[in-house]
Structure 1
Amino acid sequence: MPSATSVGLLPDKFDGRSFKMWQKKMHFYLTTLNLEKYIREDCPSLPADNTDFHALASVDAWRHGDFLCKGYIQSRLVDQLFNVFSNAATSKELWDSLDKKYRSEDAGSQKNVVAKFENYKMVDSRPLIEQVDEVHNLLHEIHAEGMRLCETYQVACMIEKLSPGFTDFKNYLKLKRKWMSMENLIMRLRIESTNRMNLEAASAQNRENNANLAEHQTAKKGKWQNKGNPDKGKGKVGPQNTQKFKKKAGGEPSKPRFSGTCNYCHKVGHKASECRSKKAD
């Protein structure tokens, strides 16, 4: 029975893609179960007249182990592939059949991953580090396919793929004569990306502060102008009475003085009903 550790190492079911990766995981899983030898060995054969108990027991033990190994491999195939490879007689036959069919198909995937890497171009509309990680993952896929690339070549390709917004930094990296590892390059790119993000955030904050300051100054200027001429901008026509009136003791303001002409004595400052000359008569 698989141990708790072995269960944690159980590979995903194979669906026809990424065979080499699945094969390595499956090989390691079988090794933890001490069943790895069955994908390499043929079933031992005994002469028909051999009746030795120990020899027969040894063959039976091998067949039991091979049955378990084959079952573990088949259990990690999707149903469609399980039906295709269910008639394999031994673990070795099953393993070799899978290897023969899908390793040749992986040759095409090698060309695909190389094409993806060669054609990858970074853009300014996406975060730099996100794209750097994608290029780095493509390099890992190339290595997983059994292809090895010189690290100097990898570094040069990564620099060349930088987006137009990093042209100055790209030229700076090209002029550096000291050898640079991929790890060192990625660290420099992370620092440069972080610095640019901080500068952009600070610039945006300054623009917001300047806009708020300009708005405040405009409002303050308008307030002082309106204080000197309270009727400005209100659309009123003709002279307005700006006379201030003292409040009475009760807190209510006194009535404004009449500014017209009396119809009785023709003097300014009172109405005919308030005219003293009329009362004297």
Structure 2
Amino acid sequence: MSGETVKEMTSRFAKLEKFEGADFRRWQKNMQFLLTTLKLVYVLSTPRPAESDDETMEHARLRSKWDNDDLMCRGHILNGMSDVLFDVYNSVESAKELWDKLEAKYMAEDASSKKFLVSNFNNYKIVDTRPIMEQFHEILRILGQFTKHNISVDETFTVSSIIDKLPSSWQDFKHTLKHKKEDMNLNE
């Protein structure tokens, strides 16, 4: 029965989006959840049990289990990547080494993406040709990315910036909002 449960679990996880090289943090969290659920994540932080001349059967069994779990963990990580990235990282020997290489490369790129996110928010313009709520949700998505990257922005500043992004056809409404005496929050 537990084999069926794992099989069902893995089939649901197969629907996770493949990592294409963007939004590493989201993919990483999803992958960590998968590896935790499959009880494989420990190989990313626990060293392989060392071999010794006088080892017990239990110690040999633990090492064999760790080796198998490392292989499975590495396979799941590679399976969660696009074909192009799979080809790049397929030769990496262990799950830990693979995980560390991905973090080193894509966390550094995330740092530069902070500037990109701030620029996206600053340059965003609301237009009359698209539904206002659709565009507002895009702005909220960008602001949600700020939280993921530990970028904090004062809510009053954010609200004022969004008001400034309204199209010129909303000039009267913009004027009314800007001259309200009390602070507004995003929900308002």
| TM-score when normalising by structure 2 | 0.87
- For 1:181, the equivalent position in structure 2 comes to 185
Q: Does structure 2 conserve the Cα–Cα contact (< 8 Å) formed by 1:113 and 1:141?
A: yes
- Radius of gyration: which is bigger? 1
Matches within 5 A, 1:207-218: none
Q: Indicate whether 1:18 and 2:23 are aligned.
A: yes
Matches within 5 A, 1:182-221: 182-184=186-188
**Take 1:9 and 1:74, find their aligned partners in 2: how far apart are those partners?**
13
- Match of residue 120, structure 2, among 109, 112, 116: 116
Runs of 4+ in 1 over 6 A off after TM superposition: none
Q: Does structure 2 conserve the Cα–Cα contact (< 8 Å) formed by 1:6 and 1:32?
A: no
Q: Indicate whether 1:32 and 2:37 are aligned.
A: yes
- For 1:265, the equivalent position in structure 2 comes to none
Post-superposition Cα deviations, 1:22-62, rounded to whole Å, max 9, x if no partner, equal 11111111111111111222212132x12311111111111
- For 2:145, the equivalent position in structure 1 comes to 141
Match of 1:77, SS state, is: coil
More helix by share: 2
Structure 1 residues 18 and 62, CA, compared in 2 at 3 Å: closer, same or farther?
Answer: same
Q: Indicate whether 1:63 and 2:81 are aligned.
A: no
Of the structure 1 ranges 128-137 and 70-79, higher mean CA displacement relative to structure 2 is found in 128-137
Structure 1 residues without counterparts, runs of 5 or longer: 185-281
Look up the equivalent residue of 1:92 and give its one-letter code: K
Shift of residue 155 of structure 1?
1.4
Match of 2:187, SS state, is: helix
Q: Indicate whether 1:95 and 2:94 are aligned.
A: no
Look up the equivalent residue of 1:64 and give its one-letter code: N
Q: Which structure carries more relative contact order (alpha carbon 8 Å, separation 6+)? A: 2
Q: CA RMSD in A?
A: 1.9
Matches within 5 A, 1:226-245: none
Match of 2:55, SS state, is: coil
**Take 1:154 and 1:54, find their aligned partners in 2: how far apart are those partners?**
59
Count of residues paired in the alignment: 183
- Match of residue 167, structure 1, among 143, 166, 171: 171
Q: Does structure 2 conserve the Cα–Cα contact (< 8 Å) formed by 1:124 and 1:163?
A: yes
Shift of residue 152 of structure 1?
2.2
Q: Does structure 2 conserve the Cα–Cα contact (< 8 Å) formed by 1:15 and 1:77?
A: yes
Structure 1 residues 74 and 148, CA, compared in 2 at 3 Å: closer, same or farther?
Answer: same
Post-superposition Cα deviations, 1:107-162, rounded to whole Å, max 9, x if no partner, equal 22221121111011223343322322222222122222332222222212111211
